[in-house]
Structure 1
Amino acid sequence: MRKKVLTGAGAVIAALGIYFYAGHADQNKSTEAVKPVSNSAQVNQAQDIKQMVHDYSARTITSQSASITSTQLIVDSGSSTEATYDLPDNEFFLSVAPYVEKTHPCATHSLTGCQGEMANQEFDVLIEDADGKEVMNRAVKSQPNGFIDLWLPRDQKYKITITHDGKQAKSEISTFESDDTCLTTMQLG
């Protein structure tokens, strides 16, 4: 009998806590919507997610699995729950693994599982939009996983050219929600 009373009291306390928290959270949401600070908070959150993606690619942090879709970073640390993080609304993540001899098929990039042939190599990367305007033209070093991670404006079509040691690969890419986040078909020749 005493356990039932304590359990019932615990349920009431938990319910009151949720009620007060929910009311307080709703109040904060309406206040934050008015403050211009929320925009900088979104920028900081996007930078944090991009840093987390970089750290997985660089293998400075690990997890049982971490994959990235066109809209979310999904991390499974081995516990019963996985964490999901929304990617920036205006940027699309694409990971490219140029290769000479070996590649693997891939659509959704696994930050903890995909391994490209050319780790820690220097590449010249040229990306042009549909109008021929340069979006990127610079030397880039691939990550320890052999991939070049790119953050590009969403909902666009691009031409990408990758050059390494006199060999070159070209491809057309796009950054729409239905597009893949892993490109493993750029064979240097």
Structure 2
Amino acid sequence: MKNRERFFLVLLTIFASMFLISFYICKEQYAQINRMKRIIKAYELFAMGKYPEFSNYVEQNRLNELLYLKKDLQKRLFLDYYANAVYHFNLGNYAEAADLFKKALEQIESNDPKSSEILYLLCVSLTNANRLGEARLVLEQSIENMPNTPFKKKVMELLAEIYKKQGDHDKADKILKGGAK
């Protein structure tokens, strides 16, 4: 009987070990399936153009394998915001264009060569939307750090124009003569 008990004990140990191994494998497979479901959901958000939701979803679920799309996302968002802003600007919807130019500026680095052009168009939009105070503030804060581009002179002229519209002719003359604000 002792041999028989040993046999069953060994057999039960083998079955228990096999159960634990299969449970562990199943648990791993279940975790991988859930991760794949989250990745598919993220791809769906990206494909549907829901970029802010996509970005938040990738961060919340730590989907590091999709970070390359997040970098590409900034370029896409910039192009979308910029194209829509120019569209509204050309239609004369300056308030809407200004909001979209702001969003486009948020998507690129401040030292990007395109930032000067967008900043200029933003301030023209603000000026045409009669938001002179906001345009003046944006220009005053960014003019010192603006790289030397063809738009820097236009920005200076626009700031002088805003000063004139607000009755500050001394500052306007100083800028037009090449001085600092």
Question: TM > 0.5 between the two?
Answer: no
Q: Which structure has more strand as a fraction of its residues?
A: 1
What TM-score do you get using the length of structure 1 for normalisation? 0.28
What TM-score do you get using the length of structure 2 for normalisation? 0.29
Greater relative contact order, per chain length (Cα 8 Å cut-off, separation 6+): 1
Larger radius of gyration: 2
